[in-house]
Amino acid sequence: MTHTVDADLCVIGAGSGGLSVAAGAAQLGARTVLIERALMGGDCLNHGCVPSKSLLAAAAAAQAVRDAPRFGVDAGAPHVDFARVRAHVDGVIAAIAPHDSEERFTALGCRVIRAHARFTAPDTLVAGDLSVRARRFVIATGSRPALPPLPGLAERPYLTNESVFALPACPAHLLVLGGGPVGAELAQAFRRLGAAVTLLARTRLLPKEDPQLAAVVLARLRAEGVDVREGCRVERVGGAAGALVLELRDAAGATSTLTGSHLLVAVGRLPNVEDLGLEAAGITTGAGGIAVDARLRTSNRRVFAIGDVVGSYPFTHVAGYHAGIVIRNALFRLPAKVDYRAVPWATYTDPELARVGLDEAAARARHGAVRVLTWAFADNDRARAEAATAGLVKVVATPRGRLLGAAIVGRHAGELIQPWCLALARGLKVGALAGLTVPYPTLAEVNPRVAGSFYAATLFGPRMRRLVRWLARLG
């Protein structure tokens, strides 16, 4: 027998976005139902941000041992105990899991249902033996790894972000298919942990990033021994477990083969929209996922969709941002709309690459004449002290100083980009950061330095020099 549950808000999916909506709604007093068919915490906790950054931290520790001699510290080659590395990754997940747990959300006042959800009508869905009727619904079902239509792939063992962190031992030779952030981060991590790594990029490494900045990451990966092959197309997967064989074609059309022990597929994401009964609910989908308006409403105005499932920006922080938009719309009836102009991106390679707003090519296409400002980490005293001089800041502005975008490649770029996010969100000009005082010596000095360079030609030009000489005559 199916029992009916009535709610003010029903959230489908307990990943980062869904959890944020459910927690906020429940604490605001709304009758809230949270439905999750798999793991609480979703991809971010179990297969994404948390395990990947934990693995990167272990890999950075190994690399720090290798780099120690540059500071006069001889430690020898690092010994990597991969079982303990994996224990570290699992331990971080376990430490964070209670925050995303069923128990916590039940304590907050949510009705948590562990089952698959499927709409049966515009205002009703079924989950297990329950029927849920709600005033508003939020679809936050996330995404999954995309698999290319590659001959032979389905018949061979391969890894994705959902399985790579469960490896019992470090691969002998990891083949990474995909040159985006996931492929770049994990290629460097496994190389630092002792694997031979070949990364195959269909076009170039980090193809969505400014080529000038992506080149800095590419140089570091190659310097550390990652075999990065750009303009490389995989035609077929052959071989067997432990000896997989890829048939390759390069940009010139030449063919070759490559053998490795493991294959990691990291070529993008697909939204989880299958078997949700969207047609019964009158919800329209598109190539990128569920279609939504600027208020994140679907074609069924009582249903919202957030996070990866809408196919806009597949980032945990965007899912959290979406959650706030939905709370204002669904509970307070405020017409809050998304604004992606100041959404940052970050790739956590070493060096990191982060950006916000328009890059140089997009800015020129949209605005024509622009000012491009750069400042090298090699000119920063803290970077020199830490032997971390690879990198630069690149800022794009209008000729009158209106900020259009900023990008940073270098140590802690994900942290250093934040003042530019604030400036872009608040419509500030470059001068707002030029006048900023920061502690010395810090990497953060690169931001006011690059901003100040906007005024250098005027400040130190002939007219200003003549003015100073004229003022000097006044005594």
User: What domains are defined for the chain?
Assistant: 3-40+101-145+270-330 (3.50.50.60), 164-267 (3.50.50.60), 344-459 (3.30.390.30)
DSSP 70-99: GGT----SPP--HHHHHHHHHHHHHHHGGG
For 240, the token pair is: 């067997």
Q: Which residues pair with 290 in a beta bridge?
A: 285
Q: What is the pLDDT of residues 117-167, one digit of tens each?
A: 999 999 999 999 999 999 999 999 999 999 999 999 999 999 999 999 999
Q: Which residue has the higher pLDDT, 474 or 12?
A: 12
**Coil/strand/helix, residue 181:** helix
For 232, the token pair is: 């490389």
Q: Is 268 annotated as a binding residue?
A: yes
User: In angstroms, rounded to a whole number, what is the distance separating the alpha carbons of residues 15 and 22?
Assistant: 10
pLDDT at 198 over 90: yes
Q: Is 242 annotated as a binding residue?
A: no
pLDDT at position 475 is 73
Q: What is the pLDDT of residues 71-86, one digit of tens each?
A: 999 989 999 999 999 9
Identify whether the C-beta of residue 227 lies closer than 8 Å to the C-beta of residue 197.
yes
Report the Cα 362 to chain-centroid distance in Å: 20
Q: Is 289 annotated as a binding residue?
A: no
Tally of residues, the chain = 475
Half-sphere exposure of 50 (CA within 13 A, CB side): 20
Q: Is 181 annotated as a binding residue?
A: yes
Identify whether the C-beta of residue 392 lies closer than 8 Å to the C-beta of residue 216.
yes
Q: Is 308 annotated as a binding residue?
A: yes
Q: Is 414 annotated as a binding residue?
A: no
Q: Is 180 annotated as a binding residue?
A: yes
Q: What is the pLDDT of residues 212-254, one digit of tens each?
A: 999 999 999 999 999 999 999 999 999 999 999 999 999 999 9
Tell me which H or E stretch contains 456.
Answer: helix 456-459
- In terms of Cα–Cα distance, which of 12, 297, 279, 271 is closest to 134? 12
Q: Is 357 annotated as a binding residue?
A: no
